[in-house]
Amino acid sequence: MTTLTVLENGHELHYDYADLMHYHGFGFPGGVAHAFKVMQRALPLLDAGHPPERREIDIRTAFRGPGARDAFEMVTRGLTEGRYVVDAALERPERGETLMRYVFVLTYRGTTVRLQIRDGIVRDEFIGLGRKPDRTAEEDARLEYLKRDMADRLLALPAEEAYDVV
């Protein structure tokens, strides 16, 4: 599996998906996978293919999930240091309820990369069940399956096939 590489005062740090899951726990594997793919796609674009200094990366997103938040925190320390912001103004309602929040903007030393999820990766059923207030035990089980399924499908894709630069 591919790793993410960032710098901490010039020293390389490497993270794979399992590292991010160990930090997050296991509640939201799809969100962790989204953040992993976003960073896989964006990090090489932020400094001409060189690993960026992790404490200089700013992240803005419309995505509210704790899995992504934790993954970005582990790699960039952005939440702790105030460089990770959930911004509803980034939502793209014209993309529909399923896709509108999967927008991520990463900035590093004056370079900004804006990404959005491609069609077909996030399923309507997942969003519907995730937002349903009084799920049954069967629906909870189905949602857990859909979380893992989304993570597996994302991890199987090259980052360029999951997220577009817009």
Residue with tokens 């794979």: 16
pLDDT exceeds cutoff 60 at 1: no
Q: Enter the tokens of residue 62.
A: 């419309």
Q: What share of the chain has pLDDT > 70, as a percent?
A: 99
* 24 neighbors 32 (Cβ within 8 angstroms): yes
The total number of structural domains that make up the chain: 1
d(CA 118, CA 102): 9
pLDDT in tens, 8-23: 999 999 999 999 999 9
pLDDT in tens, 38-90: 999 999 999 999 999 999 999 999 999 999 999 999 999 999 999 999 999 99
Q: Enter the tokens of residue 14.
A: 């490497």
In CATH, what number is assigned to the domain containing residue 8?
Answer: 3.30.1330.130
d(CA 166, CA 114): 6
Q: Enter the tokens of residue 26.
A: 């296991």
Q: What is the pTM (predicted TM-score) of this model?
A: 0.96
Q: Domain range holding 18?
A: 4-165
Q: What share of the chain has pLDDT > 90, as a percent?
A: 99
